[in-house]
Amino acid sequence: MKTSIVGIGQTEFSTNSGRSELKLALEAILSALDDAGLEVNDIDGLVRYTWDNTSEAAIVNALGLPSLKYYGETEFGGVNCCGAIAQASAAIQAGLASCVVFYRALNARSGVRFGRGERVLSEDGDALISHQPEPPGDIYSAPFGLLVPGQHHALYAQSYKGHYGLSDERFTEMLGSVAVTQRRYANNNPRALMKDRSLTMDDYKNARVISEPLRIFDYCLETDGAMAIVLVSQERARSMSAKAVDVLSASQYIFPGSVPMYLYAKDTYSLAPPEAGEVLFGRAGLKPSDIDVAMVYDATSMMVPLALEDFGFIGRGEAADFLISGQNGPNGSLPVNTHGGLLSEGYFHGLNSIAEGVRQLRGESSNQMKADTVFMTLRGASSMIMGRA
């Protein structure tokens, strides 16, 4: 890749923003432009999720942009966050745009709540109405009670636990080590929703089970707010005063049995085949041992051990030893989700994790590590590596 992130911006994270998603998006975009030292009219490209309610046309009209040379959308929600970065980078390298903004705005607590099953299936008398009728996907699982990702992830957790023969206690400590460590990071992060709420291992173990074996602290936070990321070419970034971070590699990867039919995968105790990591690291000319800090998409805590194994940071079945020994913590061999992650900072479909990677490489994180390279993955569907410019 020959692109750089030169600006990150966000609103506050809350459970009730009191603003429309369009207004939130505009605030985040303007904040990111200010961070980059750019003007509104510098934008000539936009990328977003297909799930975002704020269209490119709405942004163009609200900001008064004269035109867009490029706009694109990426599918599959949060797991394709890095795919949007890849798309923006490709547009810049192809000369389709020179300054692309990736934005995400949502009222996911005060508005539509992603954890509610009626988004997928509802009742009408004696009939069940599917709201995602196009196979493959939830049409095959929703009628049996699997309505939201948190339930699917619980099946992954059961599969992993059984495959590697982990006792109830050891499995609980493995996931608890993710939740507790990330909460400690969040307690030192002024942006985090959970900044003032501590979490001990006893708190975790005594928490109510939501979908066995996952407890309430294994789930991400419903969050209101918006975020934006500004990308330009590396050449242009070098001439700017902004603290640039280089995109060393960004990829999208879908394989049979992945999004959205992951329950039909051959091995349900992993989320991505080895090839996904090989593609990503190969493009960057790096290997897992070169990574200083990792940002892992943690819609549930179970995604962390799976990603660490899938991308070769540890061997298969080694996640319990790695996490229980604190290797994901500030003094560990690979600090993970140093902002608190989606579990404790806020759920923003991965943009906040990319932003934390940028802060680590700029030396601006609330939990600063020694970082020259940062890895980011979103369940294998997309991933990226960033490096100090």
Catalytic residues: 297, 347
Which of 245, 242, 265 minimizes the C-alpha distance to 255? 265
Closest CA to 379 of 107, 145, 77: 77
What one-character-per-residue DSSP string does 100-146 give? Answer: EEEEEEEETTTS--TT-GGGTEEEETTEEEES--SSSSGGGTGGGT-
Strands 45-49, 70-74: pairing is parallel
Q: Alpha carbon of 135 to those of 55, 57, 79: distances in Å?
A: 26, 30, 19
Strands 127-130 and 224-233: unpaired
CA separation for the pair 91, 81 (Å, rounded): 16
Rounded Cα gap, residues 255 and 257, in angstroms:
6
User: Residue 62: exposed, middle, or buried by beta-carbon count in 10 A (0-12, 13-18, 19+)?
Assistant: middle
CB 86 within 8 A of CB 382: yes
Q: How far from the centroid of its chain's Cα atoms is residue 384's Cα?
A: 11
- Locus of tokens 């994790």: 353
How distant is the alpha carbon of residue 68 from its chain centre? 27
Contact 84, 74 (CB under 8 A): yes
Strand partners, 70: 45
